[in-house]
Amino acid sequence: MSTPAPVRGAERIRRALLGSYPLIYVQSWEESRVERALAVLAQKYYERPVPFAVWTCVDGWPGLGDAPADTRGPLRALDVMLQAPGPGFFLMKDLPALLADRPDVVRKLRDAYRLMKGKGKFLVMVSPRLLLPEDMKKEVFLVDYDLPDEAEVRNAISILGKRYLGEGGLSSADADRIVTALRGQTLDELEHVFSKVFARTPRFDETTFDELLAEKEQSSRKEGVLEYVPPRVTLDDIGGLDNLKDWLRKRQNLFTREAVEAGLPVPKGLLMMGMSGCGKSLSVKTIPALWNLPLFRLDMNLVFGTSNPEASFHRALKTTEALAPAVLWIDEIEMAITGGREAGGGDPALGRIFSTFLTWMQEKEALVFVAATANRIHLLPAEFIRKGRFDQVFFVDLPNETERKAIFAVHLRKQKADLSKFDAVFLAKATKGYNGAEIESIVQAAAIDAFNEKRPLDEDDVSRVITNTVALSRTMDDQIKAIKSWAHNRAISASRESAT
C-alpha cells in the first residue's frame, strides 16, 4: 500500500482559487505563512501581478492605495475591497473572530460572495480555529492548512542551522535528530525555538538538544488537546514486560523509508490494558526514542473540557495526520467511550466520538501509530478489542517475582544505590501483589529516610518501608480476579511468565 502524498496547504489554496471560490477560509496557526503564500500567488496567479492587501482590525487596509483613511470597521473594509478595481487577493486576518456576534458582517460577506464570483477577486480569512457560522458554510471554501511537512521542516532547519551555528551549520545526522524531535511545530515556532536556544549557546550538543525538546514541549502545550512528549524514557527504564518490549523492539524500523518501500506492513496501533500502576503509560513513553518518531498525547480530559468535544477530537486526529509519521498516545481510552463516567451511555456525543475514532483507525492512510492504554477495561466494548483494529492487545498484569526484581533494580539505580548491597530476591518476595508504581514509591520513601540520616540507602531502609505499606491490590482482590478473567481470551500477556 502506498501512501498518497498529502496535498500541501499552499497547493490547497491554489486549488480553491482554480475552483473560483471567492471566499476562502484558511484554518491555520500560521498567519505569516499563509500571508507569504498569498503574496506569491498574487505575483504569479495571473499573467501579470495583481494587488495583494492585508486587513487587520487594528490597521484596516494600510496597503490599499486609494482607500479612505479609516477602514478598521469590517463593513467599511468589505466595501472598500468590493470597490477595488480588477482582480486581487485580500487577506482579512481578524475577521473570523468577529463573525459570531456580527450578523451584519455575515450578511455582508454573503452578499460579497455573489458580487465577487467570477471577478478574479479573492477574500481569504485566516484563523487557527474554525469560527464559521452555520449559515455561511455554503459560500465559504474551507482550507485546512497543514503544518509543514518533513521536507519543509528539514529545509527550515538547515537554514536556521546556518544562521545560528555559522557557515557549516548542522551535520546531517544532527539535522535528522532535530527534524524528528521538532516536527509538528509550525515554521514560526521552529524559528522561535532555534533563536531561544542557539542565540544563548551557539553549538549543538546534548544540552542544547535537551533545551530544544523543552522549548518544543512548552510551545506544543499551547496547542490545545495534544501534548508533545519528549523522547526521554528508554526500555531500560521498564522492569519486566518482556513480551511487550520484544514486540516494540521488533517494530523499531518499520516506519523507515526502506521498510515502507519494501512493502512491509506499517503497524497501526497497540492497546495495553490492565492493572493500573504497572507500566502501561511508561511503555508508551519509550516509543519515541525507540522508533525515532515524535509522540503526541491526546488528553481526553481536555477534549471533554472544550465547548465542542467532538470537533476538538476530530481536529486532534487531523492534526496528528499532518504530523505523520508520528505516534498518537490516547491514555485511558475508556474516557473516550464513557466521558470519564463509570456508567457509559446516555450522551450521544460520546458515541459519536467513539465511532469517529473507530472509523478513523480503519481508514487513516497517514503513518500514525496509535498507542492506547486502558485501566478500567470492563468499560471497553468488545468491538473495540476485536482482532484487526489494533495490531496487538496486551494485558498488563501485576508484576511477577522476576519482574519485581527488575523493577527494584530500575528504581534503586535511579537513586544511585549500590545494587550489590541489596538482596533483590528477598525484596521481590516481600512485595508480592505490589505494582510498579508502589515499588517506585517504596524505594523513594526509603531513599528519603536514608538521606535524612545522612547515609547511603540500604536494604533495611527498603524493607522497613515495605512492612509499613499495604499493596492496593490487597484491597481489591475480587476486582483483580474479574479483570484477569475478562482479559484472558482477549489479550496476550505483556509479561513473559505468568504472575506469581
Q: Contact between 283 and Mg ion (CB under 5 A)? A: no
- Binding residues among 344-373 for ligand ADP as defined by CB under 6 A: 373
Shortest CB 440 distance to ligand ADP, Å: 4
Nearest to 265 by CA among 273, 274, 276, 253: 253
244 binds, among ligand ADP, Mg ion, none (CB under 5 to 8 A by kind): none
- Preceding omega of 325 cis (within 30 degrees of 0): yes
Q: Which stretch binds ligand ADP (CB under 6 A): 132-140, 273-281, 307-315, 463-471?
A: 273-281
Residue 420, classified by CB atoms within 10 Å of its CB into exposed (0-12), middle (13-18) or buried (19+), is: exposed
Strand partners, 27: 127, 144
Q: What are phi and psi of 272, to 5 degrees?
A: -115, 125
Asked, as a colleague might, if the bond just before 288 is cis with ω within 30 of 0, I would say no
281 counts as binding Mg ion under rule CB under 5 A: yes
Q: Which does 325 bind (CB under 5 to 8 A by kind): ligand ADP, Mg ion, none?
A: none
Interacting partner of 239 out of ligand ADP, Mg ion, none (Cβ under 5 to 8 A depending on kind) = ligand ADP
Contact between 487 and ligand ADP by CB under 6 A: the answer reads no
Alpha-carbon span 493 to 246, nearest angstrom = 12
Quick one: 375 or 402, whose CB is closer to ligand ADP? 375
Adjacent-strand bridge partners of 90: 53, 123
Nearer to Mg ion, 126 or 270 (CB): 270
Strands 392-396 and 368-374: unpaired
- For ligand ADP, the binding residue among 96, 230, 277, 288 (CB under 6 A) is 277
Task: Using CB under 6 A, pick the residue from 239, 267, 269, 288 that binds ligand ADP.
Answer: 239
Q: Shortest Cβ distance from residue 480 to Mg ion (Å)?
A: 17
Task: Select the residue interacting with ligand ADP from 50, 182, 226, 410 (CB under 6 A).
Answer: 410
> How far apart, in whole angstroms, are the C-alpha atoms of residue 497 and residue 87?
72
Q: Which of 252, 276, 292, 444 binds ligand ADP (CB under 6 A)?
A: 276
CB of 250 to Mg ion, least distance (A): 23
Give whole-number Cα distances, 412 to 401, 439, 461, in Å: 16, 10, 12
- Does residue 88 bind ligand ADP (CB under 6 A)? no
* Residue 72, CA distances (Å) to 38, 60, 123 in order: 21, 4, 16
| Residue 339 touches which member of ligand ADP, Mg ion, none, C-beta under 5-8 Å by kind | none
**Residue 270 in contact with residue 371, Cβ under 8 Å?**
yes
CB 74 within 8 A of CB 98: yes
- For residues 49-78, one letter each, b for 16 or more C-beta atoms within 10 angstroms of the residue's C-beta and e for the rest, the string is ebbbbbbbeeebbeebeebeeebeebeebb
Burial 246-259 (b: 16+ CB within 10 A, else e): ebbeebeebbeeee
In the bound complex, what is the minimum distance in angstroms from residue 301's beta carbon to ligand ADP? 15
| Listed ranges 15-23, 246-254, 275-283, 353-361: which one lies at the site for ligand ADP (CB under 6 A) | 275-283
Q: What span, in angstroms and rounded, lies between the C-alpha atoms of 194 and 186?
A: 12
Kindly tell me which of 278 and 350 has the beta carbon lying closer to ligand ADP. 278
Contact between 319 and Mg ion by CB under 5 A: the answer reads no
User: Would you count residue 435 as binding Mg ion (CB under 5 A)?
Assistant: no
* Helix, strand or coil, per DSSP, at residue 186: coil
Smallest gap, in angstroms, from Cβ of residue 271 to ligand ADP?
A: 13
Nearest-angstrom CA–CA distance, 89 and 147: 22
Helix, strand, or coil here: 133? coil
295 touches ligand ADP (CB under 6 A): no
Q: Measured from the CB atom, is 191 or 237 closer to Mg ion?
A: 237
State yes or no: residue 282 binds ligand ADP (CB under 6 A). Answer: yes
Q: Pick from 229, 436, 457, 493 the residue near ligand ADP by CB under 6 A.
A: 436
- Per CB under 6 A, residues contacting ligand ADP are 238-241, 276-282, 373, 375, 399, 407, 410, 436-437, 440
- Per CB under 5 A, residues contacting Mg ion are 281
